Amino acid sequence: MTRFPKFPFAWPLAAASLLAVVLWFSGPHASMAAAPPAPDVQDVYLDKCAVCHGKDGSGNTTKGRKLKVKDLRSPDAQKLSEAEMIDIVTKGKGKDMDGFEKELGKDTVKSLVTYYRALAKK
pLDDT, one tens digit per residue, over 9-24 is 555 655 556 555 555 5
- Give mean pLDDT, residues 35-43: 73
The CA dihedral of 28, 29, 33, 35, to the nearest 10 degrees, is 30
Comparing CA positions, the residue from 117, 121, 58, 110 lying closest to residue 86 is: 110
pLDDT, position 114:
92
Contact 48, 121 (CB under 8 A): no
Q: Is 61 exposed, middle or buried (0-12, 13-18, 19+ CB in 10 A)?
A: middle
Question: Which CATH number does the domain 41-119 belong to among 1.10.760.10, 1.10.10.200, 1.10.1060.10, 1.20.58.190?
Answer: 1.10.760.10
| Higher-confidence position of 36 and 46 | 46
Q: pTM for the whole thing?
A: 0.67
- Give mean pLDDT, residues 60-81: 94
Category of 98 on φ-ψ map: left (φ > 0), alpha (ψ -120 to 50) or beta: beta
Which band of pLDDT confidence, cut at 50, 70 and 90, is reported for residue 103? very high
